[in-house]
Amino acid sequence: MTLYCATTNPGKLREFRLAAGGSHAAIRIEPVPGLNVIPPPAETGRTFRENAVAKAIYYSRFAPGATFADDSGLVVDALGGAPGVDSAHYAGPGATDDDNNQLLLERLRGIEERAARFVSVIALAEDGRLIGAFEGVVEGWILEAPRGSNGFGYDPLFLYPPYGRTLAEVSPEEKLAVSHRGKALRALLEFVARLSSPSPGARNGG
């Protein structure tokens, strides 16, 4: 079956397809048709879940099948939860990943407590109706300088302690195995796989 993905972020799309290419190879992930010309909805939610649900419901009206959207970001304890839902535009509209990373480092200058977590919520909808929402979290630590050239967003600053490396220093497969988005997406794919599998009674003719 095909799931339609409401993202224009190529990094996210790569991760979604990588996750589906393993044990859920029967599930194809494609962008919502014409996504680049669909006016985006206003992201006014105060939580990742609110934004993910609103986007999934909105874009599902333009797609020929079940559609998912994610809202994700970085939560830093010492900054009161910032950047949070503003992670993608932390340094302002049109900000690049480097802009956001530099602002984060500036605001953490001199702060020793740098615990943080990535949070992702993926919502699934069809024909304007919410089907489910799935959350993933990964705990880490913000470094004082970026390391690594893989990944995107805040990955070069986010140290994952069990690996002893940032999420920009590991392979896409290593990142997906532990990342917030990987966890949320696996929960979504397992849910969809269960929905699309015939029940034992149906298989046995009963």
Residue 182's identity, in one-letter code, is G
CB atoms within 10 A of CB 113: 11
* Residue ranges with strand state E in the chain: 2-5, 28-31, 67-76, 115-126, 129-142, 158-160, 165-166
Catalytic member of 71, 97, 99, 155: 71
- For the question of residue 71 being annotated catalytic, the response is yes
Contact 175, 12 (CB under 8 A): no
Cα separation of 130 and 75, whole Å?
26
Distance, CA of 49 to chain centre: 11
State residue 74 phi and psi, 5-degree precision. Answer: -105, 135
Cα separation of 133 and 165, whole Å?
30
Catalytic residues: 71
